[in-house]
Amino acid sequence: MKHAITHILAILAMTAFFSGTVLAADFEGRTKCSSCHKSQAKSWNDTAHAKAMESLKPGTRKEAKIKAKLDPDKDYTQDKDCVGCHVDGWGKKGGYTVETPKKPLAAVGCESCHGPGKSYRGDHRKGGQAFESKGTTMQRKVLADKGQDFHFEEACSACHLNYEGSPWKGAKAPYTPFTPEVDAKYTFDFDKMVKDVKAMHEHYKLDGTFVGEPKFKFHDEFQANAKEKVADKKDKKGKD
């Protein structure tokens, strides 16, 4: 009997552990992020990442497709060998699916790089409010523990370095058709690419609500050159 109870307790503990992990991995789409971070959202909108679904439509990017031995007139927008790297959260909880396609998850949005936001975005609001009213800061670790990504490299690699013979260990099918073998311009150099504001978004000055490790390795450099936010300041206390 004692044995059985220990067993049940162990199972309960595991269930709590796993459901906690799953919860932290919920994708919601970019709408929530964008309502507070208007400047980044506006800038992101002009990037290749924001247009990633367009490229899967027939008649687009003809030359690139032919070079990669794809059919330029085919509609790839529902092709499961393609869609996964052109949307948010493919195969993950709350992520994009072909069966019920949601627009805020179509294209490579905020959560593809920053991590699924359902669990940490509430702390952005709380952190922002506390900072504004009392000047208190919040540790980034609180956000990282809820799934916010401050390293980025693995996330980028899962799309950009996912091909046979890739230097990235995690590679598995379906692979990207656009490899350095097709054209050297598809070579992925993280340190260089992550500084391309035309592909990420422009960087805007932060007030300093979040502090401590993990801090992105180029954070200080990006902030030193960051622009003034456009209009989202008063929205910090906004609903989430």
Residues in the site for ligand HEC, rule: CB under 6 A? 30, 32-34, 36-37, 40-41, 44, 48-49, 51-52, 55-56, 61, 64-65, 70, 76, 79, 81-82, 84-86, 108-114, 117, 121, 124-125, 128, 140, 152, 155-156, 159-160, 162, 174-178, 186, 193-194, 196, 199-201, 203-204, 206-210, 216, 219, 222, 236, 238, 240
CB 6, min distance to ligand HEC, A: 39
Least CB distance to ligand HEC at residue 189 (A)? 9
What burial class does residue 146 get, using C-beta atoms within 10 Å of its C-beta: 0-12 exposed, 13-18 middle, 19+ buried? Answer: buried
DSSP 75-123: --TT-TTTGGGSBSSTTSTT---SSS--GGGBSS-HHHHH---TTTHHH
| In the complex, minimum distance from the CB of residue 72 to ligand HEC, in angstroms, rounded to a whole number | 9
Work out how close the CB of 107 gets to ligand HEC at its nearest, in angstroms, rounded to a whole number.
8
**CA nearest to 102, candidates 16, 199, 31:** 31
Which residue lies nearer to ligand HEC by CB, 17 or 87?
Answer: 87
Taking the complex as a whole, the smallest distance from the CB of residue 19 to ligand HEC amounts, in Å, to 20
CA dist 104 and 117 (Å) reads 13
Cβ proximity to ligand HEC: between 15 and 136 the closer is 136
* Closest-CA residue to 90 (of 112, 110, 59): 112
Dihedral sign computed on CA atoms, order 111, 112, 114, 119 = positive
- The residue among 13 and 179 lying less far from ligand HEC, judged by its C-beta, is 179
C-beta separation of 95 from 105 below 8 A: yes
Nearer CB in complex with ligand HEC: 25/222: 222
Instruction: Identify which of residues 32 and 106 has a Cβ nearer to ligand HEC in the complex.
Output: 32
* Peptide bond before residue 167 is cis, with ω within 30 degrees of 0: no
224: part of which helix (H) or strand (E)? helix 219-224
Q: Give the nearest distance from C-beta 120 to ligand HEC in angstroms.
A: 7
Q: Which residue, 19 or 71, is less far from ligand HEC as judged by CB?
A: 71
